[in-house]
Amino acid sequence: MFPKPCLPLRSAWVAVLLCVCGSRAVWAQVIQGQVVDRLSNQPVRSGVVRLLDTRGEVASTRLDLNGRFVLEAPEPGRYWLRFESPGYRVVVSSAIDLAPGATLAYSIQTQSLPPAQMDTVVVEGRAVPARLASFYERRARGAGGEFFTREELDRWNPAEVTDIVRRAVGFAVVPNTNYGRRGDTRQNLVINNRLGDYIGQSCPPLVFLDGMYVGTAWDFDIDSHLAVTNIEAMEFYNGPGNMPIEFNRRGSDCGVIGIWTRVTTDVPHPLWRHIELGPQLGLRYSAAGLRDARIGGQVSIAVGPMEVQGSLNIIMALLGDGPAESRSGWQATGALRTRPLGRRSPWYLGAGATSMELNVPARQNPLFTESVQEQYFLLLAGATAALTRTLHPYIEAQVLAPFGSGRQLHLFTGIAFRAY
């Protein structure tokens, strides 16, 4: 017969098992608290409290009849509480840092929405598409962001999508110092200027297009991909404290830009994207060297992926000897050009034709002049720079008769003003 184990040994084994099995509960991070009405100081008896981290919701619970709640965090770290209940304002707490095994008491104060008695009204308007219902729902309950509708965009008449971003609190549009280098077609960069200063580096917000994540504002160049006329609404959140669950993902610390496009068939789509015009100066080179100068103006109209260019110049003789240097008259040019590296690229190529009417010394008697006309096919290449949003200096080279023996090179420089 074996002796029975003594009671102290049996108790020790039970204690070990309890420690092992209950270690998670012992070291869990717990937030417990109560939701009260700010004015009456009475507990709110219904509603949901959610525990959020930078990736989204990690836990949620409903209030009991005394307005109390208990939430368990899966790991130490930084969290936020969000309270939602019909008839009350949505509340998002400030950041809460939980240490390992900590138990924190937290009180949430909210305020009931006052009932409003209204006279009978008749509302006329267009139906909201189902895919925009969540946008208008967040806007109606004051979800903590900024909301711009189509009516507001029509009043502001912005030229580029980044002009809308400039109106949002906490975001900034800065020039891209690498614009035009190594195929970088982003003329501007969007950053979170609040959090960028806090963390000591640039902080690009996330972009959601029609509810789908498309990248950061640096990966997805909103000016290149979208026109203002095709946007129905935009919403902005400049930090995690006011971030809706559907937009809360890794990287949203830098904020979120939500863009909703227009899909109705009656959306006005302009024939042109922009119109630029301005003065220019030019010189003509031929096989004999520098010959004459030009002064005039140029206009370009961006139509879809192409740009229509036209110019009219006065030809002026330069100092020198011989009939070639005594030419004067006018020159009209028309061309089509494109930007092979993207619409926002500074580089462009094109082809067209030019016609010149020249006054030159007469062959029979150089003391008199005669009028001659010349027409040429031409190839052109150029580059623009963004001095400001509306002023774009440029340089351009044109090769007349590029495949013939009478090849000429015309060089132009000017500054274009964006009129639309």
Q: Which of helix, strand or coil describes residue 357?
A: strand
Same domain, 188 and 298: no
0.85 surpassed by pTM: no
Same domain, 255 and 189: yes
Cα angle, residue 294 at apex, residues 375 and 335 outer, rounded to 5°: 45
**Helix (H) or strand (E) run with residue 153 in it:** helix 150-156
pLDDT value of position 200: 44
Q: Distance between CA atoms of 54 and 180, rounded to whole angstroms?
A: 35
pLDDT along the chain (420 residues), means of 10: 46 44 58 92 92 90 93 93 91 92 92 76 68 87 86 89 91 86 82 62 87 90 87 90 83 90 58 77 79 89 85 80 64 92 81 90 74 92 81 92 88 85
DSSP 206-229: EEEETTEEEEETTTS-HHHH--GG
167 within some domain: yes
Q: Are 338 and 348 in contact, with CB atoms under 8 Å apart?
A: yes
Q: Which of 79, 110, 141 is the last residue of a domain?
A: 110
Same domain, 192 and 249: yes
pLDDT value of position 308: 93
Tell me whether strands 206-209 and 256-261 are parallel, antiparallel or unpaired: parallel
Same domain, 337 and 414: yes
Q: Which of helix, strand or coil describes residue 165?
A: helix
Q: Are 400 and 376 in contact, with CB atoms under 8 Å apart?
A: yes
DSSP code at position 93 = P
CATH number of the domain bearing residue 287:
2.40.160.20
268 within some domain: no
Which residues form the domain of 318?
Answer: 274-418
Q: Distance between CA atoms of 402 and 412, rounded to whole angstroms?
A: 17
Q: Distance between CA atoms of 69 and 53, rounded to whole angstroms?
A: 18
Same domain, 164 and 213: yes
CATH number of the domain bearing residue 223:
2.170.130.10
Same domain, 278 and 386: yes
Same domain, 365 and 392: yes
Same domain, 339 and 377: yes
9 within some domain: no
Same domain, 70 and 174: no
Q: How many domains does the chain have?
A: 3
Give Dmax over CA atoms of the chain in angstroms.
144
pLDDT value of position 183: 73
Same domain, 283 and 399: yes
Same domain, 335 and 255: no
Q: Which of 213, 238, 261 is the last residue of a domain?
A: 261
Q: Distance between CA atoms of 204 and 217, rounded to whole angstroms?
A: 6
Q: Distance between CA atoms of 400 and 410, rounded to whole angstroms?
A: 8
DSSP code at position 163 = H
Q: Which residues pair with 148 in a beta bridge?
A: 234
Same domain, 87 and 146: no
102 within some domain: yes
**Helix (H) or strand (E) run with residue 58 in it:** strand 56-62
178 within some domain: yes
CATH number of the domain bearing residue 97:
2.60.40.10
pLDDT value of position 302: 85
